[in-house]
A and B are shown apart, each in its own frame.
Chain A
């Protein structure tokens, strides 16, 4: 069996790992991988848009109901004005005042993204904490788990009135909705992750004299991280769905409000434009999360290519 030899000093190698990671990133940027990815993403979206345009050209899709991309994107400036819901409810302000159309889209998008992010962070911190406590303390398990399981299947829609009762109008009810939609599932997912940690890893720590707290902190939490980040990613999309529902009723402005406005004013172009913006935002958010995942989970091999050989 070959013994791995390394000519540099071990200490120096450990110190050099961070710049090495940076240079690896640069190397992958220098390759045309990312360009190919963008090209495929472009192609994928073009195909979808193209089919839609075809339906319009053939007269199957009524442009008053299903306006194709070239129509709903052509009057971005005009549609963007409707995003100016930031001040819509302020008495005495007309549609022509306030931020420009482009600024409005940015403000609205940022507000919604912020709510998703805040909700996701709060929900995951709470859920992981509760999940770990459930497994750590048996009495906590018995005391809390039945209620969590009971509330888990409740639709976020049912929480909407509660959000408004409790928090009125503003950011708080939207964030609350995101948290409440994710929290219960994430607790159950955390518990499931803890239960599937390799027993050998736990037993190794036990034979080395690790205390219960050390086993949780040093073995179980790092061992569940990969699974938890996966859970987080799945729930990211859930958060995006819920935040729209929350915004459509409980908040002064946001993507959900724009959708409601479009519905009430029978403006399909605005609906599809908003959907496009949400898609782009969600896609970007997911991409950032995957980047973070790769950084945090440096020890996991890339398994995406595993099935390519079939």
Chain B
């Protein structure tokens, strides 16, 4: 890319956002601004959680970083390259299952390799290795509908890992799981993250989840989404989530979010009652 409009950042940064904004249905009556003025730097190997009320645009930002949507304002770079299209370097994991129901587990995991035209032997080997890392090698030949929700999300993680991504983008990946499964999945994700060395950008509206996982928590305002503040968490891992420190963090994040949720509610009520 040209150096002229290059912002001040290290090209080693995993993700850099400068003045990023997104307006949906821009130029039409239904236009609404989802995100505005996002400046953010994410280091390689960093675990960052996006926390905010529903509809604050945190998922939108994830899509912009993935390259699945174009920003209406500003730019996104990843490791020095301008993000214009999706890339296998930045894998996205969705809230609901996104496995291909007509493929077996291992075929799902090696889908990206088959896109590149890899042979069956290679694909099976890579799939086995990735599934080993998520503890599901035994389920290789199953079909997605034979698995539980938690297992399906682990397969989705394995599928993302098989691409050896440098950035793992996760859009409320555990939201549909029950509380116990979610706690296990968080531990599992931390293991995977440590092994892979990738940066993780994790969207959630659960404060507990943010405290359990993040190196830094990016707190968003309600619509249009802005970065309200960034809260670093330097608790050592494995974290004791019942410690005084964790409790204080939860209180702090709850306070930060409360204003935004109140504001979002007020807006929705104003919207619901015609003037």
* Chain A interface residues (CB < 8 Å from chain B): 1-6, 10, 13-14, 198, 200-201, 203-210, 214, 218-219, 222, 225, 298-301
Tell me if B44 is interfacial: C-beta within 8 Å of chain A. no
Tell which of B87, B139, B143 touches A3, judged by Cβ atoms closer than 8 Å: B139
Nearest CB in chain A: distance from B268 CB, A? 25
**Interface flags, B71-102, vs A, CB<8A=1, else 0:** 00000000000000011101110101010111
Give the docked Cα–Cα distance between A4 and B152 (Å).
12
Which residues does chain A contribute within 8 Å of B192, judged by CB atoms? none
Tell me if B115 is interfacial: C-beta within 8 Å of chain A. yes
Given A208-B115, A301-B145, A203 contacting B138 (CB threshold 8 A): no
In this complex, what residue of B is CB-closest to A296? B102
Could you write out 19 A-B pairs with CB less than 8 Å apart? A1-B151, A2-B148, A4-B142, A6-B141, A200-B94, A203-B92, A203-B94, A203-B98, A204-B92, A204-B94, A204-B111, A204-B159, A205-B111, A206-B68, A207-B90, A208-B112, A208-B115, A219-B100, A300-B101
Give the docked Cα–Cα distance between A199 and B140 (Å).
25
Of A14, A198, A299, which is in contact with the most chain B CB atoms at under 10 Å from its CB? A299
**Interface flags, B43-76, vs A, CB<8A=1, else 0:** 0000000000000000000000011100000000
Give the docked Cα–Cα distance between A208 and B98 (Å).
13
Which residues does chain B contribute within 8 Å of A207, judged by CB atoms? 66-68, 86-88, 90-92
Asked if A299 contacts B145 (CB within 8 A), the reply is yes
Which residues does chain A contribute within 8 Å of B135, judged by CB atoms? 3
Give the docked Cα–Cα distance between A298 and B141 (Å).
14
Asked if B92 contacts A299 (CB within 8 A), the reply is no
Of residues 106 through 124 on chain B, the ones whose CB sits less than 8 Å from some CB of chain A are 106, 111-112, 114-116
Asked if B111 contacts A3 (CB within 8 A), the reply is no
* Chain B interface residues (CB < 8 Å from chain A): 66-68, 86-88, 90-92, 94, 96, 98, 100-102, 104, 106, 111-112, 114-116, 135-136, 138-148, 150-151, 159, 163, 181, 184
Given A207-B66, A207-B92, A218-B115, A1 contacting B150 (CB threshold 8 A): yes
Tell which of A14, A206, A222, A301 touches B100, judged by Cβ atoms closer than 8 Å: A222
Nearest CB in chain A: distance from B70 CB, A? 13
Which residues does chain B contribute within 8 Å of A301, judged by CB atoms? 145
Given contacts A10-B141, A204-B111, 10 further A-B contacts (CB under 8 A): A1-B148, A1-B184, A14-B141, A203-B86, A204-B94, A206-B86, A207-B67, A208-B163, A222-B102, A299-B144
Asked if A198 contacts B141 (CB within 8 A), the reply is no
Nearest CB in chain A: distance from B93 CB, A? 9
Nearest CB in chain B: distance from A114 CB, A? 31
Given A1-B150, A203-B92, A198 contacting B112 (CB threshold 8 A): no
Asked if A209 contacts B139 (CB within 8 A), the reply is no
Nearest CB in chain B: distance from A121 CB, A? 23
Asked if B98 contacts A4 (CB within 8 A), the reply is no
Tell which of A214, A225, A298 touches B115, judged by Cβ atoms closer than 8 Å: A214
Asked if B101 contacts A209 (CB within 8 A), the reply is no
Asked if A209 contacts B116 (CB within 8 A), the reply is yes
Which residues does chain A contribute within 8 Å of B112, judged by CB atoms? 208-209
Give the docked Cα–Cα distance between A234 and B116 (Å).
38
Which residues does chain A contribute within 8 Å of B141, judged by CB atoms? 6, 10, 13-14
Tell which of A200, A218, A225, A298 touches B98, judged by Cβ atoms closer than 8 Å: A200
